[in-house]
Structure 1
Amino acid sequence: MRRLLLLLFLAHPFWCLAQEKDLVQYANPLIGTHKMGHTYPGATVPFGMVQLSPETDTIPYEVDGRYNPTVYKYCAGYQYDDATIVGFSHTHFSGTGHSDLGDFLLMPTEGKLQMNPGTEDNPESGFRSAFSHEKEQAAPNYYQVFLEDDGINAELTTSNRVGFHQYTFPESSEAHIILDMMYGIYNYQDKNVWTFIRVENDTLVTGFRQTRGWARTRTMYFAMTFSKPFKEYGTKDYSKKQVYKGFWRKFDPSKNFPEIAGEQLRMHFDFDTEEGEKIKIKFALSPVSTNNALENLNAEIPHWDFEKAKKEGQRLWQKEFEKIKVETSKAEDMVNFYTAMYHTFLGPTTYMDVNGQYKGLDQNIHQAKGFTNYTTFSLWDTYRALHPFFNIIQPKRNADMVQSMLAHYDQSVHKMLPVWSHHANENWCMIGYHSVSVIADAVIKGNAGFDANKALEACVVTANYRKYDGLGYYIDLGYVPEDKNSSSVSKTLEYAYDDFCIAQMAKKLGREDIFQKFSKRAENWKNVYDASIGYMRPKLSDGSFRKEFDLLSTHGQGYIEGNAWNYSLYVPHDPATMIEMMGGKKKFVKHLDSLFTMELPDEFFAHTEDITREGIIGNYVHGNEPAHHAAYLYNWTDQPWKTQERVRMILKKQYQATPDGLGGNDDCGQMSAWYIFSSLGFYPVAPGSDQYAFGSPAVEKASLQLGNGKTFEVEAIHQNDKNVYVKKIELNGKTLNRHYLTHSEIANGGKLTFYMSARPKK
């Protein structure tokens, strides 16, 4: 008996390890790939530089010289209802409403060589292949699909900077790998500026691609190595002007010629294969050079063991998922929760080589010292919930992201913090200067792993850059006039919120002068409120409100990605004053009720492809971000129980464990971050403050690892689909008689307990 007990004791730690729950199994990358979620299903590691994913069509940006609206569907390159795959490329955005990237497409084929992708209607005319979802798998850091036309099984995995392909061929003397340097998402005519390919030997190929897409000038380098020597290779140049055609008749550059350059190139690499033979390819990226790409390759995946690379990447995902361990009563909720975590950890993406080098906004090579440099900052979306989520769960990464923003500022000729930046470019998409929200939120919450005073200076300079998007008018008049600058109401409201963030950061850092100045600017939202109608309204430069005005329209009314109903609620930093100005709590509740229950006319959906009925509840547009905080505003009224009701309703209607389970673009993780916060029972209505508004938790238990060695637990007693109302909240055993939680209460660790009920506590 003693021997048995000893053996059990010694085995206990290993038993615990074996019983550790596999959380990777719950994340489903196919969620959001149908309709307007705009997510991609392919392989990547957390915050990875490589996003290796299938492309299901080649959509031109223009048709007959006019914008092709179909291109909007393909922001991530993949649509779940498509029937063919044209290849696998190495860079993707997740959930955006605009597109770029899609670099370096590879496609395995068998049989007669075809160098054109063909069309969906006539797939046999090119190298694309039919596929079915029955023979497709997607998991964190793994994607598999059977290419039916060629009888090839394709498998993908990655490290941070390297894509790893494994293609299982049939027996053939005509096996090919196509390298398409032309393909690109957002593929308008002449997107490629220049491409270069160098065949170093019979297993190693290097090169680069320079494009002008959403990023005005972007260069990505690569190093590609094969597990087996190719027997032949060739090039097809589709450039309008073949500069080196015939190389002055000294060479035939189309066959076995080792250095090829041009605007529109495709290459093929040919093999003999046996039945079931696997040809593997490692494809490394670098923003700096082919030498760095090769260094990335050798450092990250020096072997040819596909399963090993897959498992190493999935261990990284498991490590990230373990930062929040939840218990739910339904398996579907586990899938939704960990898929949301998966989507939040896809970006921002790493943008530097293993040696710390990266290309900066000034197009020069820089060295990241003491931080990881990131790119893909969709800040108009992600300042709301994604970065506040990182401040709790990913504090070190978020501090590095701020460092990356400050590096962007240093390299900017405008001396502006990023607005929407990616791959050493500022594309200026959307409005506001929401870097300051991200920075202020980090400072306020004690996560300033950077020079906070330098960051404050950068925020102030950015907020005073008069040339930027109506900001000069805003500084002079206290609002943006619609007759001088469009989307004026949205800009005024968002500038005012950002100014609040600067004021709070200045207060934290003891800069009273800046605090006073920007506290005053933060009240500018009042200048576009029209008390006669009870809504925010565009104002003209002469001080009058514009007469022609439609409360429901999303176009030409002074707003962007929203209407007067949604944007009139956008004063996240001062809801109490906003509610008072709108007639008081009782009247405001009726207004908010109407937002969620009214019926919109069909004309509302007729004029824009980015608003769908799936993303709308009443007139509340969850598929776009301006009103993401709206359901939580009942907490500032006498009916906070309606926040609990609305939040649970949104969670249920807008998030399902299906390919079409997202009610709008995931927007680089913002939609998913909303889900995570709301499932846990609290939400950052105003990042830059230290408060989170309470909602209604949809999990039964959660354990959050905070990055500071402490744990914060959430428990919802008697929580289910009917018990959505909060009867009582306790923090560390003591009852909370308020509608918010502070960041320090989370950061200090402890336990938050919700007691749930089927009846609202009025």
Structure 2
Amino acid sequence: MRTSLFLPLLLLPYALPAQDPAQYVKPIIGTQKMGHTYPGATVPFGMVQLSPDTDTIPYEMNGKYNPDVYKYCAGYQYTDKTIVGFSHTHFSGTGHSDLGDFLIMPTTGPLQLNPGTADKPESGYRSRFSHEHETAEAGYYKVRLDDHNILAELTATNRVGLHRYTFPQADQAHIILDLVSGIYNYDKKNVWTFVRVENDTLITGYRQTSGWARTRTLYFAMVFSKPIKQYGHQNLDSSVYKGFYRKFDQTSNFPEMAGRRITAWFDFDTKAGEQLQIKFALSPVSTAGALRNLAAEAPGWDFEAAKRKSREDWNRELSKVTVKALSENDLINFYTALYHTYLSPTTYMDVDGAYRGLDQLNHQAEGFTNYTTFSLWDTYRALHPLFNILQPRRNADMVRSMLEHYNQSVHKMLPVWSHHANENWCMIGYHSVSVIADAIVKGNIRGYDAMQALEACANTARYKKYDGLEYYMELGYVPEDKNSSSVSKTLEYAYDDWCIAQVAKKLGRTDLYNEFIKRSQNYRHVYDASTGFMRPKLSNGSFRKEFDVLSTHGQGFIEGNAWNYSLYVPQYPAEMIEMMGGKKQFTQHLDSLFTMHLPDAFFAETEDITRDGIIGNYVHGNEPAHHAAYLYNWTGAPWKTQERVRMILEKMYKPASDGLGGNDDCGQMSAWYLFSTLGFYPVCPGSTAYALGSPAIRSASLQLENGKTFTVEAVDQSPQNVYVRKVELNGKPLQQRFISHSDVMGGGKLVFYMSRKPTR
């Protein structure tokens, strides 16, 4: 299979075979340019993400930030020609990174313990490879390592990575275990590493790092399918040889290896075509936990059975949506997007429920699965709302995981961006509030106390030491001269406050409702009627004089500019439109967003925006305007929503390695695609309404956890028929451009009648 080739567009209806939707998943999509996805093996929401790393880039060069690190957030870039090895943890689609734990590389010939360089791979253990001999599927990855003539195959369970390496005849066959390597390779990232050779097939140990997550410990248990001939290690931290340990030669066949920068090696003799297998289990708690995970999930050596089980796991989750599409490429786009939405958040506990908490103590998950990897500034928008439809039990467990984070937090704050028992404090807002509110308002309350969740939301929103909140609570806005990105923060805090008010209203807490519904109006304080844009305000109450509506730097915004963020009042779209001059003027503003021409300076001032991800001034890869195309539904011009949505779908999503117009951001970009392809979108999570758009499939059936089926059908669907003539819900014409969450979860049928001309 060639991962770089995809099927041509065919304008015939394609129905998905019910048994194997995983056949349409192409994990290679998004691995080039800004997508930052990884192509390796994992299972839905799995703790192990076993994937190739094509380079390791220093975070700093000559004491300065190295911009090349941005390319390697997921460890893999499609255009690279070499593979360094296969590590066991990866983020999917992020704009920052960490992880890349426990890199394994099989080699032959003279032992080399450094990775070498991409231009001279023979200088280290890395290897050239070709996409002609690479396969990436749901739960399975295969590649030929050309320099070593080794076929590498990977699959996974939730907590165990399984490797199968087919060697040539060699009396110098090695397995390299590099505990120095990591994504972003921060200087002094490794706090400590430890490897223990338990016997001639079993290795245990751990790795402590201080990277994006300041304090992170991950334990492992590694088992070989045949005995080790000999082993040893290289320690780049020579200080550990001082004192007592000088009595031993630790570099060869010494059963304990410890230090900050350890690379271990294990030698074997291999016959031509001999397969060496490795099982590598992870645990957030202990090596004993890793061994229990190994025994529970991968007790035998049947790689093919494990591979089949992984695919079955994927088919079970993917088959929750059955699609009829216009082309096979559409099926590839759809099911790969669904696959990407199921990559995170990730499981973060052992099979017995043990996990490491934010307080760095060990805890027990009673009656729920503990999750980590919460990229909440991105995923509150569409990913978690999608889970409330397709994965409500998991999403409830994710809410419970956030509440446990709150209980373990010395700040008594819900997560902002958390992973592996750490809070990264990345991005702005307190959008766990939105995720919790969306679940409660939509009735997804199971395994947690809704009133306690409300209190956690309120306390988070009152924590004055957090990111300008003291000024926001005092002045009603964040002043730019006191705290940067002030306009974005004011707008996002106001939205989150509205979410808290909705939960308070549902639970009968009038006091909290009154407090936070008032705060939700704070967006008005940063609107400048003289310019028609949201604008940074100073602590003296005046607007800052220096103001550039197109600039993304130093103007009071983050990952956006005044054009994008002036549209960000999802809780009050009608009021926002009126405030900005009414429907006609606002429609013109929206039109300009999609059609204007940006100057070259716009692209030069930020590293993570390229022309590939932009339509006019609409930056699809940066989430603040993800709801923008749907705002025409409030201006009396819904046909423009339909037109824009279909345009974005066509331009930003393709079945190719560079097929994502921006970071997938832990599934948010893919969730936008899925909702929009189905014909509706959650403009304001925390409400029960979905705005209608223009479906891009012929039909889709959603198999819901409550046993009901919700079906979407598009009559007269075609690439040209992007407009909606009329909509029926359960046989009755819809008079508005919205449906409710209860309409979906109650089952039934939503029918769009498509047309080549807009209905005005």
**Equivalent position SS for 2:264:** strand
2:214 match: 216
Could you report, residue by residue, the CA deviation over 1:394-433 in whole angstroms, capped at 9, with x for unpaired residues?
A: 0000000000000000000000000000000000000000
Could you report, residue by residue, the CA deviation over 1:90-142 in whole angstroms, capped at 9, with x for unpaired residues?
A: 00000000010000000000111111110011110100000000000000110
Measured in 2, the distance between the counterparts of 1:429 and 1:632 equals 27
- 1:539-550 alignment, distance < 5 Å: 539-550=537-548
Measured in 1, the distance between the counterparts of 2:92 and 2:247 equals 46
Structure 2 residue aligned with 1:257, among 250, 254, 257?
254
Measured in 1, the distance between the counterparts of 2:505 and 2:747 equals 26
Q: Is the 8 A contact 2:334 2:674 kept in 1?
A: yes
Q: Is the 8 A contact 2:18 2:319 kept in 1?
A: no
* Partner AA of 1:65 in structure 2: G
Measured in 2, the distance between the counterparts of 1:94 and 1:656 equals 18
1:344 aligns with 2:341: yes
Structure 1 runs of 4+ aligned residues shifted over 6 Å read none
Gaps of 5+ in 1: 1-17
1:698 aligns with 2:704: no
Shift of 1:19: 6.5
- 1:240-639 alignment, distance < 5 Å: 241-245=238-242, 247-449=244-446, 450-639=448-637
**Equivalent position SS for 2:720:** coil
Q: Is the 8 A contact 1:246 1:252 kept in 2?
A: no
Measured in 2, the distance between the counterparts of 1:133 and 1:309 equals 24
User: CA 1:248–1:751 in 2, change beyond 3 Å: closer, same or farther?
Assistant: closer
Measured in 2, the distance between the counterparts of 1:472 and 1:19 equals 55
2:9 match: none
2:163 match: 165
How many pairs does the alignment contain?
A: 744
* Partner AA of 2:649 in structure 1: L
User: CA 1:248–1:285 in 2, change beyond 3 Å: closer, same or farther?
Assistant: closer
Shift of 1:21: 3.7
**Equivalent position SS for 2:568:** coil
* Partner AA of 1:699 in structure 2: I
Q: Is the 8 A contact 2:18 2:322 kept in 1?
A: no
* Partner AA of 1:433 in structure 2: Y
Gaps of 5+ in 2: 1-15
User: CA 1:156–1:663 in 2, change beyond 3 Å: closer, same or farther?
Assistant: same
Shift of 1:29: 0.3
Q: Is the 8 A contact 1:198 1:205 kept in 2?
A: yes
Q: Is the 8 A contact 2:56 2:184 kept in 1?
A: no
Measured in 1, the distance between the counterparts of 2:307 and 2:316 equals 14
Q: Is the 8 A contact 1:622 1:664 kept in 2?
A: yes
Q: Is the 8 A contact 1:351 1:373 kept in 2?
A: yes
* Partner AA of 2:704 in structure 1: L
1:648 aligns with 2:646: yes
**Equivalent position SS for 1:33:** coil
**Equivalent position SS for 1:138:** strand
Measured in 1, the distance between the counterparts of 2:505 and 2:707 equals 28
Could you report, residue by residue, the CA deviation over 1:61-90 in whole angstroms, capped at 9, with x for unpaired residues?
A: 111111100000000000000000010000
**Equivalent position SS for 2:624:** coil
Q: Is the 8 A contact 1:123 1:130 kept in 2?
A: yes
Q: Is the 8 A contact 2:19 2:315 kept in 1?
A: no
Shift of 1:20: 3.4
Shift of 1:246: 8.0
Measured in 1, the distance between the counterparts of 2:722 and 2:682 equals 20
Measured in 2, the distance between the counterparts of 1:725 and 1:338 equals 24
Shift of 1:245: 4.8
1:232 match: 230
Q: Is the 8 A contact 1:729 1:752 kept in 2?
A: yes
Measured in 2, the distance between the counterparts of 1:237 and 1:245 equals 13
2:179 match: 181
Measured in 2, the distance between the counterparts of 1:116 and 1:622 equals 39
Measured in 2, the distance between the counterparts of 1:373 and 1:553 equals 40
Shift of 1:244: 2.9
1:735 match: 733
2:673 match: 675
**Equivalent position SS for 2:113:** coil
Shift of 1:516: 1.3
**Equivalent position SS for 1:669:** helix
Q: Is the 8 A contact 1:246 1:253 kept in 2?
A: no
Residue range with higher mean Cα deviation, 556-565 or 607-616: 607-616
Could you report, residue by residue, the CA deviation over 1:478-518 in whole angstroms, capped at 9, with x for unpaired residues?
A: 00000000000000000000000000011111111111111
Measured in 1, the distance between the counterparts of 2:138 and 2:20 equals 12
Could you report, residue by residue, the CA deviation over 1:584-621 in whole angstroms, capped at 9, with x for unpaired residues?
A: 00111111000000000011000211111111000001
Q: Is the 8 A contact 1:172 1:272 kept in 2?
A: yes
1:32 match: 30
2:189 match: 191
User: CA 1:182–1:175 in 2, change beyond 3 Å: closer, same or farther?
Assistant: same
1:15 match: none
* Partner AA of 1:388 in structure 2: P
Give the superposed CA RMSD.
Answer: 0.9
Q: Is the 8 A contact 1:691 1:740 kept in 2?
A: yes
**Equivalent position SS for 2:683:** coil
Shift of 1:250: 1.9
Q: Is the 8 A contact 2:236 2:261 kept in 1?
A: yes
**Equivalent position SS for 1:721:** coil
**Equivalent position SS for 1:626:** helix
**Equivalent position SS for 1:668:** helix
1:100 aligns with 2:98: yes
* Partner AA of 1:30 in structure 2: I
**Equivalent position SS for 1:577:** helix
Measured in 2, the distance between the counterparts of 1:733 and 1:722 equals 25
User: CA 1:118–1:246 in 2, change beyond 3 Å: closer, same or farther?
Assistant: farther
| TM-score, scaled to structure 1 | 0.97
2:708 match: 710
1:9 match: none
* Partner AA of 1:42 in structure 2: G
Measured in 2, the distance between the counterparts of 1:236 and 1:188 equals 19
- 1:11-22 alignment, distance < 5 Å: 20-22=18-20
Shift of 1:719: 1.0
Measured in 2, the distance between the counterparts of 1:40 and 1:79 equals 8
* Partner AA of 1:709 in structure 2: G
Shift of 1:28: 0.5
Measured in 2, the distance between the counterparts of 1:226 and 1:246 equals 33
Shift of 1:243: 1.7
Shift of 1:329: 1.3
**Equivalent position SS for 1:591:** helix
Shift of 1:289: 0.2
* Partner AA of 1:26 in structure 2: Y
Shift of 1:248: 4.3
Q: Is the 8 A contact 1:247 1:253 kept in 2?
A: no
**Equivalent position SS for 2:625:** coil
